[in-house]
Structure 1
Amino acid sequence: MKLITLTLMLSLIVAGPALADGNHQHGGHAPTLEEKTTVTLEGNTLTLTFGPMDLPTGHDGDLAASIPKHIFQILKDRHMVGYKSAIFTKDGKPLPRQWLHHVLLMNLDKDSVSCPGEPLFFAGAGMEMTETKFPAGYGVRLEKDKKLMVVVAFYHKALPTKDVMATFTMELAPEGAPVQDMDVYQVGVNIVCYSKFDQRGPNQTDEGIIINPGLQVQSAPLKFNMDGCVKFAYPHGHDQLLLIALDNKTTKKTLLRTVPDVEADGNFRAFQPHQVYKDDRGFSVNTRDDYEMTMVYHRPLHDPEEGHGMGNYLLYMTPGTCPGDASAAAAR
């Protein structure tokens, strides 16, 4: 049984012809954490809206939520082919992207391949808020009546601000359009599977790996639990990030190398489109080879604030070897 379902008590109500909507409040939520999530489906656009609420606010529970986890269903099979996020005030004023700590979308009725025993984490965003659009003809299947859950957290050190809202918008393929299914696989330098959080060292917290002043290079070994052909890689990092990379140590080949656009002081601005991997040809990963994730940070020596960093990818891949990948096929 999926770990998260042990703590969920679901109460689903029909909200319209396209969606079923429900909510859950995990034990231990502060009284100020009220249900503030709405889900709307208009044509091929599925939008989750959070708030309004006043910042700063704390985090609660295993997945660090600022508002109760929200569960909903889609009443027709659809494919997600892209997504984007935003944070703003109720009157439409944009707010710093750093104030959106994370949005996590999970399929409670589908197992994760990268984190066995956990439900599938299939989409999300942090401060990078990278607009995502998969290669044409590929998508993530959202099945009819499956329970989907969204978890939202705002940065607990945000400046006092009233009526803050955020959105997570999924683009769906037109009904009946041919779409090839992709699996979703998460990798990172920091431990990404919440069922393994108890294995984190003293330098890791919910905020990430502690980043000391100066240059810091962190690497972690990686083995894949499936063979796949990666078509899209969604990167995630924090302020002061210089680089995220994925290397195949067996073949001595760098597969991903992502450099963010930053301010002069190192604060994160964006992952520019040319730094976000997207290719319908893809690259192969397999269960045999040894891989390594690396992240590089530089925190100013004069910065008195405690820093934390992450270096993650959410990999969207089709099962099996990439077509035409002779080297991967020969090794099978």
Structure 2
Amino acid sequence: MSLCIAVLAWATPIAAQHHQHHAHPSQDTRASIELRDNTGVGVLTVRVGPLKMPPRTEHMSPPLTPIRVPFDAWYVAYEPRLVDKDGNPRPGHLLHHVELLNLNRRNFLCPLQPERMFAAGSELSDWPRLPGVGYRVTQEQRIIVAVMFHNPTDEEVSNAYLEVHIHYVLPGTSRLTNIYPAWFLVTHCGATIYDLPPGLHVKGSELVVPHSGKLLGVGGHIHDYGRQLRLENTTRKEHIATLDISLREDGRLRSIPVVVFPSPGGYRIGADDAIKATAVYDNPTGRPLPKAAMGIVVGYFVPDHDEELAALTRDPTSLWRR
């Protein structure tokens, strides 16, 4: 059975939020965030839309509107999709990026920020389920859906929706080990997006992991013309993972691989180990591209002492810098 839990309407048309080369009249359509629970299969769906975007819309972001977690659960897998009003697929290039942030939790690598739960870009990569683990949420926690769209085509886009399907497990049905998303940004703890100069460009940054534990696997997030993401332990001078990006012939992003480390050990990280993430781009356009690059390696982290990370809460009403 599918139940609509919440519908949050935005006070302004989503099309009025865009930034573009040329002005276009705003649309009349009102957009919303809808939260729907399919209890039969254990899937929550976050649905954003409908979207209307004029041709050549550069960036369009709806307001940051929190949704409330409807019940205690572990979130175990994520599936992002762009669809029309009937559920048929739409091209992924309309999505710049989407992030889910838990406002009640602190990011254990960047403590001034909320905990990022999930993110995706135009590649629309699924986050698969890993056996025996899950991301713990509790009822009434506040989740921000931070999303940016763009329309690089010469055609208007209408009646498009972003859906994120979240697979969950209820506490009474199973006991899972808690995982904590570890976000290794090439911009350290600063803004995730940065300008991309022409030609080959390499950017990296180190983050110190204050807790010992293990990484179960890593994926990543990068934009068009991205060639590679790398993760290394500079304290121990060890290579952790290399993600070679699959691009289309025009340099646009096709897919990003996922690396799962051998179980049960995973990749061990010691307390205060410095972990470096690096993003490699090759911009063939011959010109700088403002706000065009991101570089993030994301891993599922299982701490040796769960109580240390479980204690990292924050006031969900407090502000933070993106």
TM-score, length-scaled by structure 1: 0.76
Partners of 2:229 and 2:73 in 1: CA distance = 32
Q: Which residue of 1 aligns with 2:319?
A: none
- Kept in 1, the 8 Å contact 2:74–2:168? The answer is yes
Residues 298 and 105 (structure 1), Cα distance of their counterparts in 2 relative to 1, 3 Å cut: same
Residues 148 and 219 (structure 1), Cα distance of their counterparts in 2 relative to 1, 3 Å cut: closer
Question: Cα offset for 1:101?
Answer: 1.2
Partners of 1:121 and 1:228 in 2: CA distance = 19
Q: Which residue of 1 aligns with 2:20?
A: none
Q: CA RMSD in A?
A: 3.0
- CA displacement 1:110-147 (0-9 Å, x = unmatched): 22212213222111211232111132010001112212
Partners of 1:18 and 1:155 in 2: CA distance = 28
| Equivalent in 41, 45, 48 of residue 46 of structure 2 | 48
Question: Cα offset for 1:226?
Answer: 2.5
Question: Cα offset for 1:81?
Answer: 0.5
Aligned ranges for residues 4-23 of structure 1 at < 5 Å?
Answer: 19=5
| Equivalent in 148, 159, 162 of residue 158 of structure 2 | 162
Partners of 2:295 and 2:103 in 1: CA distance = 25
Partners of 2:295 and 2:136 in 1: CA distance = 26
1:182 matches 2:179: yes
Partners of 1:279 and 1:76 in 2: CA distance = 33
Partners of 1:127 and 1:277 in 2: CA distance = 22
Q: Which residue of 1 aligns with 2:252?
A: 267
* Length, aligned pairs only: 286
| Equivalent in 310, 324, 328 of residue 294 of structure 2 | 310
Q: Counterpart amino acid of 2:52?
A: D
| Equivalent in 32, 35, 38 of residue 39 of structure 1 | 35
| Equivalent in 273, 277, 290 of residue 260 of structure 2 | 277
- Kept in 2, the 8 Å contact 1:24–1:69? The answer is no
Q: Which residue of 1 aligns with 2:241?
A: 256
TM-score, length-scaled by structure 2: 0.78
Q: Counterpart amino acid of 2:183?
A: Q
SS in 1 for 2:211: coil
Q: Which residue of 1 aligns with 2:73?
A: 78
Partners of 1:215 and 1:258 in 2: CA distance = 17
- Kept in 2, the 8 Å contact 1:227–1:319? The answer is yes
Partners of 2:211 and 2:184 in 1: CA distance = 13
Please list every run of 5 or more consecutive structure 2 residues that lacks an aligned counterpart in the other structure. Answer: 18-25, 306-322
Q: Which residue of 2 aligns with 1:110?
A: 105
Partners of 2:256 and 2:142 in 1: CA distance = 31
Residues 231 and 19 (structure 1), Cα distance of their counterparts in 2 relative to 1, 3 Å cut: farther
1:68 matches 2:63: yes
Partners of 1:110 and 1:23 in 2: CA distance = 25
SS in 1 for 2:93: helix
| Equivalent in 116, 128, 131 of residue 123 of structure 2 | 128
- Kept in 2, the 8 Å contact 1:256–1:277? The answer is no
- Kept in 2, the 8 Å contact 1:242–1:296? The answer is yes
Instruction: Please list every run of at least 4 consecutive aligned residues from structure 1 whose deviation after the TM superposition is greater than 6 angstroms.
Output: 23-26
Partners of 2:4 and 2:162 in 1: CA distance = 22
- Greater strand fraction, Structure 1 or Structure 2: 2
SS in 2 for 1:79: strand
- Kept in 2, the 8 Å contact 1:139–1:181? The answer is yes
What percentage of residue pairs aligned between the two structures are identical? 23
Q: Which residue of 1 aligns with 2:312?
A: none
